[in-house]
């Protein structure tokens, strides 16, 4: 396993998809990738992960499914072999409880918890993530959300996307544009403001993004001006909702010390050591 990219491909290569389109991993295959030679020792890690899952009131049976396989042991004879079908969350817990001296364990923690987390996670699972993991998760959702929003905006006749996105930020941030937000956060020129937000601020923007896309489609908006007005209106609605809930206004939320790009670089450097 030479680098992060190759390892990611390895984790992806052992992923399975069931008849319902749900992804899962077999514990026996994960054991090999995580460099555990003995099943007995790896099953100890699995049991610790199951206990961690149980302690957070999350159903162990939903994430660690017992399966028995018939394997050939020579001369045509077969015997039962214990295995588990694991969800991505189960793999994350296994990585969290694995041998921290193994470089591949740190890689697995990053892979399963942050960088390639594609499935929706439950509220309980989300609450277990660290703040940086929540930021990565929310950033991934906002990235996908903005892609869908841009498609909806394009269909609505938007050509000046800077103007369109600024309309939404102005609504949510009490008149601040993208540049205003970047300056307030002390960012460098063209540095991504979303990469420099905490999970709470990202969540507010995600709500703005998804609700604007929905409104553009539902109201059959077909002019750039109407699309910008809609985005601005939704931004204000989200801002008012935060205010009514007694929350902190987005411009008053602290800017994280490190951007997500910085954290990604640090993770890659750590994994190469």
Q: Last residue of a domain, which of 118, 153, 179?
A: 118
Residue-wise pLDDT tens digits, 189-214: 889 999 999 999 999 999 999 999 98
3-class secondary structure, 190: coil
Please check whether residue 113 lies inside any domain of the structure.
yes
DSSP code at position 254: P
Q: Is residue 39 part of a domain?
A: yes
Report the chain's mean pLDDT, rounded to a whole number.
86
- Rounded Cα distance between 207 and 273, Å, is 39
Same domain, 222 and 114: no
Same domain, 229 and 256: yes
- Whether 126 is covered by a domain: the verdict is no
Same domain, 135 and 105: no
Contact at 8 Å (CB) between 264 and 245? no
Same domain, 36 and 114: yes
Contact (Cβ atoms closer than 8 angstroms) between residue 223 and residue 157 = yes
**Number of CB atoms found within 10 A of residue 237's CB:** 17
Same domain for 169 and 112 = no
> Percent of the chain having pLDDT more than 70?
87
Do 93 and 192 reside in the same domain of the chain?
Answer: no
Q: Are residues 8 and 82 in the same domain?
A: yes
Instruction: Clarify whether residues 161 and 253 are in a common domain.
Output: yes
Threshold 0.85, pTM exceeds: no
CA angle, corner 268, sides to 139 and 136, nearest 5? 15
Position 205 in a domain: yes
pLDDT at position 190 is 85
Q: Is residue 236 part of a domain?
A: yes
Q: Is the pLDDT of residue 273 over 70?
A: no
CA angle centred on 198, ends 247 and 164, rounded to 5°: 85
CA count, 13 A, side-chain hemisphere, 66: 6
Residues 42 and 162 in one domain: no
What is the count of structural domains for the chain?
Answer: 2
Q: Give the residue with greater pLDDT, 19 vs 62.
A: 62
Q: Is 123 a domain residue?
A: no
64 φ, ψ (degrees, to nearest 5): -125, 95
Q: Is the pLDDT of residue 3 over 70?
A: no
Write down which residue in 84, 118, 152 finishes a domain.
Answer: 118
Judge if 46 and 135 occupy the same domain: no
Domain boundary among 118, 148, 163: 118
By the 8 A CB rule, do 234 and 215 touch?
yes
Q: Say if residue 70 is in the same domain as residue 191.
A: no
Residue 94 lies in a domain: yes
Model confidence at 228: pLDDT above 60: yes
On whether residue 124 sits in a domain, the answer given is no
- pLDDT bin (cut points 50, 70, 90) of residue 225 is very high
Q: Do 104 and 148 have their domain in common?
A: no
The model's pLDDT over 31-48, given as tens digits with 9 standing for 90+, comes to 999 989 999 999 999 999
Range of the domain at 216: 131-272
């Amino acid at each position: 396993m030479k680098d992060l990219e190759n390892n990611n491909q390895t984790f992806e290569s052992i992923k399975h998809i069931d008849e319902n389109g749900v992804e899962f991993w077999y514990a026996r295959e994960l054991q090999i990738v995580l460099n555990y030679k003995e099943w007995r020792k790896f099953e100890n890690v699995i049991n610790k992960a199951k206990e961690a899952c149980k302690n957070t009131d999350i159903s162990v049976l939903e994430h660690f499914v017992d399966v028995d396989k018939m394997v050939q042991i020579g001369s045509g004879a077969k015997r039962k072999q214990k295995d588990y079908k694991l969800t991505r969350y189960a793999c994350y817990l296994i990585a969290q409880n694995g041998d921290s001296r193994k470089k591949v364990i740190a890689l697995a923690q990053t892979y399963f918890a942050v960088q390639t987390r594609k499935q929706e996670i439950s509220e309980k699972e989300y609450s277990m993530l660290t703040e940086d993991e929540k930021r990565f998760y929310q950033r991934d959702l906002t990235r996908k959300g903005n892609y869908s929003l841009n498609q909806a905006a394009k269909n609505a006749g938007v050509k000046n996307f800077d103007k369109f996105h600024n309309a939404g930020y102005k609504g949510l941030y009490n008149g601040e544009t993208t540049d205003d937000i970047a300056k307030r956060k002390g960012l460098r020129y063209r540095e991504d403001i979303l990469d420099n937000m905490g999970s709470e601020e990202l969540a507010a923007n995600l709500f703005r993004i998804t609700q604007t896309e929905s409104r553009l489609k539902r109201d059959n908006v077909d002019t750039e001006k109407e699309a910008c007005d809609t985005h601005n209106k939704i931004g204000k609605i989200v801002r008012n909702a935060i205010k009514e809930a007694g929350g902190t206004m987005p411009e008053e939320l602290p800017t994280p010390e490190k951007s997500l790009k910085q954290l990604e670089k640090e993770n890659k450097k750590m994994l190469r050591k």
